[in-house]
Amino acid sequence: MEQKTYYTSKTFWLNILAVVGIIAQGQFGYVVSPEMQVTALAVINFLLRIATKQEIIWSKPKKDTE
């Protein structure tokens, strides 16, 4: 199975953006209901999980010696 690093994962960046969005809404006063946030994030994560074909590795990738 092909592998990719965590920082090339769309799911990883989506969740980073979600955290930034949650922090930003407190700073700017535009608040989305928690139910809507959780629902939207769960649906998008589910769709990305279906589309994902590569395993994510959390350590430095090993170089092929062949």
Over residues 11-45, the pLDDT tens digits come to 889 999 999 998 999 888 888 898 999 999 999 99
Give me the domain span that covers residue 50.
29-58
Predicted pLDDT at 40: 93
**Cα 54–chain centre separation:** 14
Number of separate domains in the chain: 1
Predicted pLDDT at 1: 66
Predicted pLDDT at 36: 93
CA distance 30 to 26: 7
Q: Which residues pair with 3 in a beta bridge?
A: 55
> How does 29-65 read in b/e, with b if 16+ C-beta sit within 10 Å?
eeeeeeeeeeeebeeeeeebeeeeeeeeeeeeeeeee
Q: Is position 6 within any domain?
A: no
Q: Is position 48 within any domain?
A: yes
Band of pLDDT at residue 63, cut at 50, 70 and 90:
low
Q: Is position 42 within any domain?
A: yes
Please state the pTM of the whole predicted model: 0.69
